[in-house]
Amino acid sequence: MSEVVHTGHHDDHDHGPEKGILRWLYTTNHKDIGTLYLWFSFLMLFIGGALALVIRTELFQPGLQFIEPAFFNQMTTNHGLIMVFGAIMPAFVGLANWLLPMQVGAPDMALPRMNNLSFWIMPFAFGMMISTFFMDGGGPNFGWTFYAPLSTAYGPPSTTYFIFAVHLMGASSIMGSINIIATILNMRAPGMTLMKMPLFVWTWLITAFLLIAVMPVLAGAVTMMLFDIHFGTSFFNAAGGGDPVMFQHIFWFFGHPEVYIMILPAFGVVSHIIPTFARKPLFGYTSMVYAIASIAILSFVVWAHHMFTVGMPLFGQAFFMGATMVIAIPTGVKVFNWIATMWRGSMTFETPMLFALAFVILFTMGGFSGLMLSIVPADYQYHDTYFVVAHFHYVLVPGALFSIIAAVYFWFPKWTGKMYDEALGKLHFWLSFIGVNVTFFPQHFVGLAGMPRRIPDYALQFADFNMLSSVGAFIFGFSQLFFLYVLIKGIRSGKPAEGLSWEGAKGLEWTLPSPAPYHSFTNPPKVS
**What's the rounded Cα separation, in Å, for the pair 106 and 188?**
6
- Count of beta carbons in the 10 Å neighbourhood of residue 14: 7
Q: Confirm whether 144 is a catalytic residue.
A: yes
Q: Please give the residues from 297 up to 356 whose contact with another protein meets the rule CB under 8 A.
A: 311-313, 316
Residue among 25, 70, 238, 488 that touches another protein (CB under 8 A): 238
Contact between 95 and 38 (Cβ < 8 Å): yes
Say whether residue 293 binds another protein (CB under 8 A): no
Which residues are within 8 A (CB) of 142 and not within 5 positions of it... i.e. 6 or more apart?
73, 77, 150, 151, 154, 155
Q: Which stretch binds another protein (CB under 8 A): 4-12, 263-271, 370-378, 436-444?
A: 4-12
Say whether residue 5 binds another protein (CB under 8 A): yes
Q: Considering beta carbons, is residue 175 or 357 the nearer one to another protein?
A: 175
Q: What interhelical angle do 328-342 and 285-298 show, nearest 10?
A: 160
**What's the rounded Cα separation, in Å, for the pair 136 and 463?**
34
Q: Residue 43, SS3?
A: helix
Say whether residue 240 binds another protein (CB under 8 A): yes
Q: Which stretch binds another protein (CB under 8 A): 3-11, 265-273, 386-394, 408-416?
A: 3-11
Q: Confirm whether 57 is a catalytic residue.
A: no
- Count of beta carbons in the 10 Å neighbourhood of residue 502: 21
Minimum separation from the CB atom of position 15 to another protein (A): 20
Identity of residue 152 = T
Exactly one of 280, 306, 418, 444 is catalytic; which is it? 306
Minimum separation from the CB atom of position 110 to another protein (A): 4
Q: Which stretch binds another protein (CB under 8 A): 236-244, 277-285, 467-475, 481-489?
A: 236-244
Contact between 29 and 108 (Cβ < 8 Å): yes
Size of the site for another protein (CB under 8 A): 43
Say whether residue 491 binds another protein (CB under 8 A): no
Q: Which stretch binds another protein (CB under 8 A): 125-133, 232-240, 283-291, 501-509?
A: 232-240
Residue among 21, 195, 239, 460 that touches another protein (CB under 8 A): 239
Find, among 522, 525, 527, the residue nearest to 108 by Cα.
522
Exactly one of 12, 58, 228, 258 is catalytic; which is it? 258
Say whether residue 67 binds another protein (CB under 8 A): no
Say whether residue 525 binds another protein (CB under 8 A): no
Q: Distances from the Cα of 68 to the Cαs of 64, 72, 213, 458, 514, in angstroms?
A: 7, 6, 39, 14, 51
Q: Confirm whether 331 is a catalytic residue.
A: yes
Exactly one of 30, 31, 56, 256 is catalytic; which is it? 256
Contact between 403 and 468 (Cβ < 8 Å): no
Q: Confirm whether 258 is a catalytic residue.
A: yes
Exactly one of 331, 341, 364, 439 is catalytic; which is it? 331
Cα–Cα–Cα angle for 252, 256, 262, nearest 5°? 135
Q: What φ, ψ does residue 385 adopt, rounded to 5°?
A: -110, 180
Q: Considering beta carbons, is residue 73 or 152 the nearer one to another protein?
A: 152
Q: Confirm whether 334 is a catalytic residue.
A: yes
Q: Which stretch binds another protein (CB under 8 A): 52-60, 160-168, 230-238, 466-474?
A: 230-238
Residue among 99, 110, 125, 166 that touches another protein (CB under 8 A): 110
Say whether residue 376 binds another protein (CB under 8 A): no
Q: What φ, ψ does residue 496 adopt, rounded to 5°?
A: -60, 140
Q: Confirm whether 172 is a catalytic residue.
A: yes
Find, among 236, 83, 220, the residue nearest to 153 by Cα.
236
Find how far residue 154's CA is from the centre of its chain.
29
**What's the rounded Cα separation, in Å, for the pair 260 and 94?**
17
Q: Which stretch binds another protein (CB under 8 A): 124-132, 183-191, 407-415, 482-490?
A: 183-191
Q: Distances from the Cα of 339 to the Cαs of 274, 332, 503, in angstroms?
A: 9, 11, 20
Q: Confirm whether 305 is a catalytic residue.
A: yes
Residue among 6, 15, 19, 344 that touches another protein (CB under 8 A): 6
Minimum separation from the CB atom of position 267 to another protein (A): 23
Q: Considering beta carbons, is residue 169 or 221 the nearer one to another protein?
A: 221
- Count of beta carbons in the 10 Å neighbourhood of residue 493: 9
Say whether residue 21 binds another protein (CB under 8 A): no
Say whether residue 219 binds another protein (CB under 8 A): yes
Q: Please give the residues from 148 up to 177 whose contact with another protein meets the rule CB under 8 A.
A: 153, 174, 177
Say whether residue 50 binds another protein (CB under 8 A): no
- Count of beta carbons in the 10 Å neighbourhood of residue 441: 17
Q: Which residues of 101-137 are buried (b: 16+ CB within 10 A; e: fewer)?
A: bbbbbbbbbbbbbbbbbbbbbbeebbebbbebeeeee
Minimum separation from the CB atom of position 300 to another protein (A): 12
Residue among 47, 53, 117, 212 that touches another protein (CB under 8 A): 212
Find, among 48, 17, 24, 31, the residue nearest to 94 by Cα.
31
Residue among 515, 524, 525, 527 that touches another protein (CB under 8 A): 524
**What's the rounded Cα separation, in Å, for the pair 187 and 109?**
8
Q: Confirm whether 158 is a catalytic residue.
A: no
Residues carrying an active site annotation: 79, 108, 144, 172-173, 256, 258, 260, 271, 305-306, 331, 334, 453
Chain residues in the site for another protein (CB under 8 A): 1-2, 5-6, 9, 110-111, 153, 174, 177-178, 181-182, 185-187, 190, 212-214, 216-217, 219-221, 224, 232, 235, 238-241, 243, 245-246, 249-250, 253, 311-313, 316, 524
